[in-house]
Amino acid sequence: MVWLGRLRAALPEVLKFATNIADHGHRKLTAFKALRSIADEETLAAVRAEFLLGPGERPRRQVAEILSGLGGSAGDVAWFLSAAERAEPKRKHSVDYLASEAKAFVGRVTPDALPDLIDGMAALLSRSPVVERRYNNISIRFEWLLAPAARAVERLILERSPAAFSPVALSIIRKVSAARIYQSEGVTAERDELTGLVADWSELNWAQFWYDVEQMRAEMAPGKRLLEWWRPSNFGAAWKFTGDDFNVALDAITSRALMDDRMVALSLAFELYRTNGRPRKRLNALKKQPSTWSLRPGCTCFCTRWQTRRCSNTGPTSDGERNARTSRRSRRRPILPARASTSRPTWAAFAAISPRIPKALQISVRFTTSFTVCATGEMSRTDGRTTIGAH
């Protein structure tokens, strides 16, 4: 009645129910709704501050009810982050009103307070204990914040805010992209929306790509190298490239400071050349690029199999390097004794001597079978397990 009739005279009674710490039922939820109708902003701020006083966790439904009445100022953002930290853990397979209200609250936050909101949610998403996922760890308790955080980053992108290029925003995009593989709860719409928004903004698309490359390289085992452009997308990625990105990839071959990044850019440029009709002009541009840097001293050629095979045009090498290479090769492949010379006769030659083989040992031999005919007329065949022969 107080809520529907806006009975301001009942404010003292409503405050008594709203500030009762022991009450976790519907009376307290109704009191919060009534306060939004009859109380002024100062009273509401006092109730919100008192709600977070004292130890212990706060019921998620009550946090959601108070959050539904917040505007979106910097003070409201600070209260939301404190309340989210104190809220009870989400119960699996249950309706979560707090996650829904959090996404709605993100839409009301003022643009100047949005970066602070993203920083706070990113800190909670990284808090231990985390779900140990390869290249992407998310807090077990605060995983429900991933969808609201994605909504906040979407706003930055839509407003073309420079804050979208911050490491915190890029890290959230990476976490949401990996959720495509790990099937995190409640981020289906957000991850699809982010993928389209990131790809539509070319500068952000490249920034996210190089961020994913750097993060994956930092998380790899010592001694491992990241040289291929596609590897960061194994666990989901928001970036996409088309033929229009060829020139940017071409510039990155010489502009990136790290040599491994140049290798990544080279692999991406060649992929964009290969998947867009293999135009001669782009191939000539690729051949010119490696002349400004080399994988090894003296190498100036462009090899399309650089990922798997070392280029042979390495120029002159020192005696020490040549001796070390020979020594390594000798350790890998020890010298074996010389084998007897063999020949591969035709099928006619085999048919001529086959009567000399006992019928019990007659076998069907394909044209590709390897066998040896000795000068004495003996025929032997080795199939990897046995050797048979007859005189």
pLDDT in tens, 266-301: 999 999 999 999 999 999 998 887 544 444 443 434
Q: Reduced to 3 states, what is the DSSP secondary structure of residue 57?
A: coil
Question: Could you state, in order of their start, the residue ranges of all structural domains in the chain?
Answer: 91-240, 244-310, 347-390
Cβ-based neighbours of 330, under 8 Å, separated by 6 or more: none
For the entire predicted model, the pTM comes to: 0.71
Kindly report the number of other CB atoms within 10 A of residue 243's CB atom.
13
**Average pLDDT across the chain, whole number:** 76
Judged by average pLDDT, the poorest of 37-41, 269-273, 313-317 is 313-317
pLDDT of residue 269: 94
pLDDT in tens, 109-146: 999 999 999 999 999 998 988 876 665 678 889 989 99
Measured CA distances, 167 to 20, 27, 183, 191, 288 (Å) = 42, 44, 24, 18, 34
- Residue whose C-alpha is closest to residue 233's, from 267, 202, 200, 258: 267
Cα 388 from Cα 363, distance rounded (Å): 10
Pick the more confident residue, 262 or 32: 262
pLDDT in tens, 232-259: 988 788 999 999 999 999 999 989 999 9
